[in-house]
Amino acid sequence: MKIIETVDEFRQAYALAKKPLGLAPTMGFLHEGHLSLVKRAREDNATVAVSIFVNPSQFGPNEDYGAYPRDMESDLRKLEEAGVDLVFAPDAAEMYPDGFDTYVDVGSIAERLEGGHRPGHFRGVATVVCKLLTIVRPDRVYFGQKDAQQCLVIKRLSRDLNLGAEVIVCPTVREADGLAMSSRNVNLNAEEREAARVLFKSLQLAEYMFFSGIKDANELRRQMRHTIEEEPLAKIDYVSVADGDTLRELDVAASPALVSVAVNFGKTRLIDNITL
């Protein structure tokens, strides 16, 4: 496994790499969710690359860029075990050198849900993914359904700017009690970790209601809110039942609807979703 920190060095490695090449972009502090993308990439491609970069431009000024968990040594061990060929781990100055002044704005799909609550977030995501795709030039790029809106934003970006990588979305990997794996889960204390079970519980409730014949999206959102609010440590950012393509809020839930939640537990903000 080759660990590469600069764009120039990656270009050289690219020239020598067997194709097709698959890339899984990450912010590190890797867990089984990330490794599921790597596994899928390993099955599909002759060369597997993983990027590790905590991207400052996708964090708001009051968000957790500084507190975002990092452990490069452990990450590299896991990637080596998973059979990764190339790790691209640039520092912030390599990705955003002095004078950097070009950003990518994806349109309406990036304005809703996470975009509405985290202004500038998807501008940062789209910019860094655009850069990663032009540096790494993968044939396929792997993302997790856990960040469902991010997947839609990247598909739009890749199509609109002809970035040339096939975007492959992999299922959400969960803990035994249903909590979606996330690097941020490590920041939950024991009470918050227990409380965070309510995320998946609320999504399961929506699924149960939907398949019991309740299609009124307001009712689904109301019952989900009620479930989450029963948990005193949970502070809701949003509860959404939206069209799976446009992310517009629905009046009547119809398959495939994206049911998603963003909830704060203390200082930790978690998101999760299911598709009906």
Taking CB positions, which residue lies at the least distance from ligand AMP? Answer: 144
Tell me: does residue 33 bind ligand AMP (CB under 6 A): yes
Total binding residues toward ligand AMP, as defined by CB under 6 A: 17
Going along 34-108, which residue ranges are E strands?
Answer: 47-52, 86-88
Task: Provide φ and ψ at 124, rounded to 5°.
Answer: -65, -45
- Peptide bond between residue 232 and the one before it cis (omega within 30 degrees of 0): no
Among 180, 209, 242, 262, binds ligand AMP (CB under 6 A): 180
Cβ at position 95, least distance to ligand AMP in Å: 14
Nearest to 242 by CA among 108, 117, 112: 112
Cβ at position 273, least distance to ligand AMP in Å: 11
Of the listed pieces 25-33, 66-74, 105-113, 185-193, which binds ligand AMP according to CB under 6 A? 25-33
What is the SS3 assignment for 22?
strand
Cβ at position 134, least distance to ligand AMP in Å: 18
Q: Which is nearer to ligand AMP, 26 or 47 (CB)?
A: 26
Tell me: does residue 123 bind ligand AMP (CB under 6 A): no
Question: 226 catalytic, yes or no?
Answer: no
Tell me: does residue 202 bind ligand AMP (CB under 6 A): no
Altogether, the residues listed in the chain come to a count of 276
Tell me: does residue 27 bind ligand AMP (CB under 6 A): yes
What is the SS3 assignment for 208?
helix
Of the listed pieces 68-76, 101-109, 167-175, 220-228, which binds ligand AMP according to CB under 6 A? 167-175
Categorise residue 29: left if φ over 0, alpha if ψ from -120 to 50, beta otherwise.
Answer: left
* Rounded distance between C-alpha atoms, residue 189 and residue 196, angstroms: 10
Q: Which is nearer to ligand AMP, 47 or 273 (CB)?
A: 273
What is the SS3 assignment for 52?
strand
Tell me: does residue 172 bind ligand AMP (CB under 6 A): yes
Tell me: does residue 182 bind ligand AMP (CB under 6 A): yes
CA angle 6, 9, 11 (to 5 degrees): 110
Cβ at position 159, least distance to ligand AMP in Å: 18
Give Cα 263 to chain centroid, integer Å: 16
Nearest to 45 by CA among 145, 165, 163: 165
What does the binding site for ligand AMP look like in residue numbers (CB under 6 A)?
26-27, 33-34, 36-37, 143-144, 146-147, 170, 172-173, 180-183
The catalytic residues are 34
